[in-house]
Amino acid sequence: MSTPNDGARMATEPLLHARHISKNFGAVQALVDVDIEVSPHEVVALVGDNAAGKSTLARVIAGVYAPDGGTLRIDGKPLPSHTTRGARSAGIATVFQGLALSENLDVTANIFLGQEIIEHGLLDEEAMESMARDFLKNLNARIPSPRTPLANLTAGQRQCVAIARTLVGKPKLIVLDEPTSSLSISQTAEVLTYISQLRSMGLGVLIISHNLTDIRAVADRIEVLRHGRNNGSFVASDVRYEDIIAAITGAPSGR
């Protein structure tokens, strides 16, 4: 995890190091020469207008799409393959907008769906339940029991289950696509707290969001995409809303 003496952390290569990523869909240039870096213990926000290429970049990082050009390195090593399995084995976990949770299963079953712990050919329910309990505790989750059926959970609690599910594979980087869209304000408070928890667990986090207030609240760095290209990189603690909006829309900065 994070070491107290972080002089070394600055010198090492970032956790995620994407260089000159390009992706075309027919005549549509979704990504053109995009660079992005995420370090351990860092929250990077990816913002941009609709169709700026945010979700495409997230899908390239998650291994859903293979890039047409560029390199993607994690911990200094190239991805073993541009597949979701390859990305997962390299330590990249992704939560997409749809969450892909199963209504008829409980919290534990959802967290381990497709990655069940099997002991002597049987499901190890006890181990899974106790791990699920730990994940929820680490995230400060407000979910009564790991055996609660998913159907009983609020949208914020579901987001938490989806994040907890990414922790099963002991990831290094977590990619969250619009984690607070369609959440109420008290649920947003919970999800932003989960994101801060992931950061203090020493993970790298890449969030895609439209909400500049939420992003500036939890992100260390803000990267702007415009028409599939990098259009600005800001330190979250120093930047004004006006500058981010100018970079998103392509307006000259107000300064």
Partner 1 sequence: MARAQKNSGSQSSLRQANSERLLDAIRQFGSITQVEIAQATGLSPATVSGIVKDLLAAGIVETRHTIRSGRRAQMVTLAHKTGLLVGLHVTERSLRVAVADSRFEFLERRVLPLPDDHRHDTTLDRAAVMVAELVDGLGSGLTEVLGIGIGVPAPVDPATGAISVAGILRGWEGIPLGEVLGRRLGVPVTVDNDANLGALGEVRFGAGRGISNLLYIRASHGVGSGVIVEGAIHHGHRGLAGEIGHALVDPQGPICRCGSRGCLITVCGSHALVDSLRQSHGPLTLADVLTYAEQGDPGCQQVVMDAGAAIGLVAANAAVAVGPSVVLMGGELAAAGDLLMAPIEEAMRRRVPVSQAPAVEVRANQLGEDAELYGALAVAADLSPATGNAPEVSL
Give one DSSP letter per residue of 67-136, joined into a string. Answer: -SEEEEEETTEE-S-SSHHHHHHTTEEEE-TT----TTSBHHHHHTTTS--EETTEE-HHHHHHHHHHHH
Burial, 168: exposed, middle or buried (Cβ in 10 Å; 0-12, 13-18, 19+)?
buried
Nearer to partner 1, 46 or 60 (CB): 46
Is residue 180 close enough to count as binding partner 1 by CB under 8 A? no
* List 83, 84, 196, 197, residue binding partner 1 (CB under 8 A): 196
Residues 199-218 that bind partner 1 (CB under 8 A): 200, 213, 215-218
Q: Binding to partner 1 by residue 4, rule CB under 8 A?
A: yes
- For residue 98, the tally of other CB atoms under 10 A from its CB is 8
Window 37 to 96, contacts with partner 1 (CB under 8 A): 41
Tokens linked to 164: 């907890």
Phi, psi of 232, rounded to the nearest 5 degrees = 140, 145
Total of chain residues touching partner 1, rule CB under 8 A:
36
DSSP at 149: B
Q: Does position 198 bind partner 1 by CB under 8 A?
A: no
Residue labelled with tokens 């979250």: 236
* By the rule CB under 8 A, 12 interacts with partner 1: no
The one segment of 72-80, 171-179, 189-197, 224-232 that binds partner 1 by CB under 8 A: 189-197
Which residues contact partner 1 by CB under 8 A?
A: 2, 4-7, 9-10, 41, 142, 144-145, 147-149, 151-152, 184-186, 188-190, 192-193, 196, 200, 213, 215-218, 220, 235-237, 240
